[in-house]
Amino acid sequence: TDYETITVERTGDRTALLTLNRPKALNALNLQVMEEVVAATEALDRDPDIGCVVLTGSAKAFAAGADIKEMQPQGYMDMYLTDWFTAWDRLGNLRTPTVAAVSGYALGGGCELAMLCDILLASDTAVFGQPEIKLGVIPGIGGSQRLTRAVGKAKAMELCLTGRTMDAAEAERAGLVSRIVPADDLLPEALAVAATVAGMSKPVAMMAKEAVNRAFETTLAEGVRFERRLFHAVFATADQKEGMSAFVDKRAPDFTHR
């Protein structure tokens, strides 16, 4: 498939790499990028041979935000009738696990895109923020909600009200990113994490993702009940038999993703 603003490669080990590719605009997220990222990831999501997808940008910018030049002339009716940015929600609804490999700027929509992914790895050069307020707008791809859930009210409120950015170390301390890796190691490390995830049973990984995500949607008691139902359900998979048999037999499991 031909995409203009992204590249998609199959990187082996049941993984795929999606790279944002608008270098002149620091990967600003216009509607075409949104459509291409969503179409490409949904196609990968349907592919039983893909177990994890890595999203990345360039060394300088994961994405410097939504495309300000595209939004600048829009009015309320334009935004409402095109339902601007709503298609991004579909990225968060993928069942296949995703890894964001963030180097450089992840601002505004770029930070929101990273937060739509399941595992967030940052290079030591990463910069995160929701600076929309400096442009007279607010986050529009879930930033006010996901950043607050990730780092708490104190930092989320300060970042959204002042536009201040966080470096990688602050983002890791705050719990926004799972780990920081040296810039040169970011992509190999992200692909290695993806290969590890993709080596697990795909349906079981999908259920683990669903269970963790449920924590953001419901009460503790309901979330634990939801987990318990999925936990019982994994005993209907061939991969549970294989995983536990392999342990007992002291060998590596060979999951069939069923």
Please tell me the distance from the alpha carbon of residue 244 to that of residue 128, in angstroms, as a whole number: 41
Q: Does residue 215 contact residue 31 with C-beta atoms inside 8 Å?
A: no
Binds ligand HXC (CB under 6 A): choice among 43, 137, 154, 161: 137
Segment interacting with ligand HXC (CB under 6 A) among 128-136, 181-189, 197-205, 209-217:
128-136
Q: Does 64 bind ligand HXC (CB under 6 A)?
A: yes
Smallest gap, in angstroms, from Cβ of residue 106 to ligand HXC? 10
Q: Does residue 246 contact residue 253 with C-beta atoms inside 8 Å?
A: yes
Q: How far apart are the first and last CA of the chain?
A: 28
Q: Which is nearer to ligand HXC, 128 or 255 (CB)?
A: 128
Binds ligand HXC (CB under 6 A): choice among 57, 65, 97, 142: 65
Size of the site for ligand HXC (CB under 6 A): 21
Query: In angstroms, what CA-CA distances link 115 with 30, 87, 88, 98, 236?
Result: 18, 15, 11, 10, 32
Q: Does 135 bind ligand HXC (CB under 6 A)?
A: yes
Instruction: State the DSSP H helix or E strand holding residue 240, giving kind and residue range, or none if neither.
Output: helix 238-248
Smallest gap, in angstroms, from Cβ of residue 125 to ligand HXC? 12
Helical spans, DSSP H, in 46-167: 68-71, 76-82, 89-92, 109-116, 143-151, 153-162
Q: Which is nearer to ligand HXC, 9 or 35 (CB)?
A: 35
Binds ligand HXC (CB under 6 A): choice among 18, 107, 126, 180: 107
Footprint of ligand HXC on this chain (CB under 6 A)?
A: 25-26, 28, 64-69, 71, 105, 107-109, 131-132, 135, 137, 139-141
